[in-house]
Amino acid sequence: MTDTAVHLTAQERDAHLELDQLRQLVGLVPYDESTDVFPVTGWDAIVFVVGNATQTAHYYQSAFGMELVGYSGPETGNRDHKAFVLRSGSIRFVVKGGVDPGSTLHEHVRVHGDGVADISLEVPDVDRCIDHARSIGATILQEPEDLTDDHGTVRVAAIAAYGDTRHTLVQRVGLPGGDWSAYDGPYLPGYVPRSSTFVKRDGAPKRLFQALDHIVGNVELGKMDEWVTFYNKVMGFVNMAEFIGDDIATDYSALMSKVVANGNHRVKFPLNEPAVAKRKSQIDEYLEFYQGPGAQHLALATNDILTTVDQMRANGIEFLETPDSYYQDPALRERIGQVRVPIEELQKRGILVDRDEDGYLLQIFTRPVQDRPTVFFELIERHGSLGFGKGNFKALFEAIEREQEKRGNL
């Protein structure tokens, strides 16, 4: 008999999430891990390398409502850099910035600006994943090794993904019959628990989002299929929705996008490449300013996008504007039908709606969150739809192009 049950991860249990919630929030599905060549349990951490981690850690607390839970830096014996661990629901962000003038993190920032260096994934068996990845010819950046401290042991390794992005693989629980129990430190060995004196405003919800839904990767023209094949062959990911051509072309901008996901769909990677258009697309702009492929946006799943948007706006976060014409378009109103709130509530906040055969979703996008026009965030509230807002791509791209124009990059 095959075991297709999905189980909560430790991060999800810590956040008091339940399987039913995760099915709704991120479209979690059962699958048979025993036949997976490269089983992936879910996200482990998103590691940002930034110019000033001390201040970025404050931003994710004050603007995104995240909680500081862990730290590594000179005071803990790490003389190279400071790293802050932040949580919201099952999501873990780690922000790193160089302290030693010779730290290699400075070079990452010089080339890319602030960005996502590592999309780290939790796996049940690091060695099995690395053996498979090696057999397919993937680039192994770090061979499997045990890291241990007072909280226990984790086994880690890393493989190369697009551009300078890597996937660190983290095994937090020993194999059956082995001698480890689950690691119980704040993140990885070497990190210490840390809290902050930051106090949320009265009435703020305990968190603004519960889980990570997807991370979009931008790759060069002609490279999308290569990376889809990488995720299929090396990491055993399955193909999801596919968007090509007119669906996501505006007069000036065009792109191609395909989506891959791990077996249980916790981890979803839309991969974009620019398509030939009249003028520079948003993907070209990203590739120019990030100086190559990289993570473009991270979609944060919330069960109450209205409250989340109101809170984040009050915290100073800027979202892309949606023209009133979007909400007045009779074809759109017809297509989206009934959603849980009046359209006027969405219009007031600029929240987009999309519907497909499985249900609908609400979504909104922030402006880039650092100086370069590269990384940004999406908030997403799913109601049955497992899509990515295909019906909104055109409206969204037109909004992005208005911003590009203001920056002089169109």
Q: Which of 212, 147, 163 is nearest to 11 (CA)?
A: 212
Could you tell me if 268 and 241 are in contact, meaning their C-beta atoms sit under 8 angstroms apart? no
User: Smallest gap, in angstroms, from Cβ of residue 246 to Fe ion?
Assistant: 19
Q: Is 299 in the site for Fe ion (CB under 5 A)?
A: yes
Stretch that binds Fe ion, among 124-132, 238-246, 276-284, 299-307 (CB under 5 A): 299-307
**Cα(379)–Cα(355) distance, integer angstroms:** 16
User: Smallest gap, in angstroms, from Cβ of residue 243 to Fe ion?
Assistant: 11
Stretch that binds Fe ion, among 46-54, 59-67, 69-77, 298-306 (CB under 5 A): 298-306
**Cα(89)–Cα(99) distance, integer angstroms:** 29
Task: State which residue, 154 or 300, has the beta carbon closest to Fe ion.
Answer: 300
Task: State which residue, 36 or 378, has the beta carbon closest to Fe ion.
Answer: 378
Task: State which residue, 378 or 401, has the beta carbon closest to Fe ion.
Answer: 378
**Cα(114)–Cα(255) distance, integer angstroms:** 24
Q: Is 213 in the site for Fe ion (CB under 5 A)?
A: no
User: Smallest gap, in angstroms, from Cβ of residue 298 to Fe ion?
Assistant: 8
Q: Is 378 in the site for Fe ion (CB under 5 A)?
A: yes
Number of shown-chain residues binding Fe ion (CB under 5 A):
2
Q: Which two tokens stand for residue 102?
A: 């010779």
**DSSP code string of 301-331:** E-S-HHHHHHHHHHTT--B----HHHHH-HH
In degrees and rounded to multiples of 5, residue 299 shows phi and psi of -100, 120
**Pairing relationship of beta strands 91-98 and 42-49 according to DSSP bridges:** parallel
User: Smallest gap, in angstroms, from Cβ of residue 270 to Fe ion?
Assistant: 6
Is 132 annotated in a binding site? The answer is no
Which residues touch 131 (CB under 8 Å, ≥6 apart)? none
User: Smallest gap, in angstroms, from Cβ of residue 232 to Fe ion?
Assistant: 20
Which spans in 99-256 are helix H?
A: 104-112, 126-136, 224-233
Task: State which residue, 126 or 362, has the beta carbon closest to Fe ion.
Answer: 362
Stretch that binds Fe ion, among 11-19, 117-125, 280-288, 374-382 (CB under 5 A): 374-382
Is 401 annotated in a binding site? The answer is no
User: Smallest gap, in angstroms, from Cβ of residue 350 to Fe ion?
Assistant: 16
Task: State which residue, 15 or 215, has the beta carbon closest to Fe ion.
Answer: 215
Is 58 annotated in a binding site? The answer is no
Which residues touch 226 (CB under 8 Å, ≥6 apart)? 219
**Cα(239)–Cα(178) distance, integer angstroms:** 34
Stretch that binds Fe ion, among 11-19, 200-208, 340-348, 375-383 (CB under 5 A): 375-383
DSSP 384: B
Task: State which residue, 61 or 88, has the beta carbon closest to Fe ion.
Answer: 88
Residue ranges at the known binding site for Fe cation: 214, 297, 378
Binding site for Fe ion (CB under 5 A): 299, 378
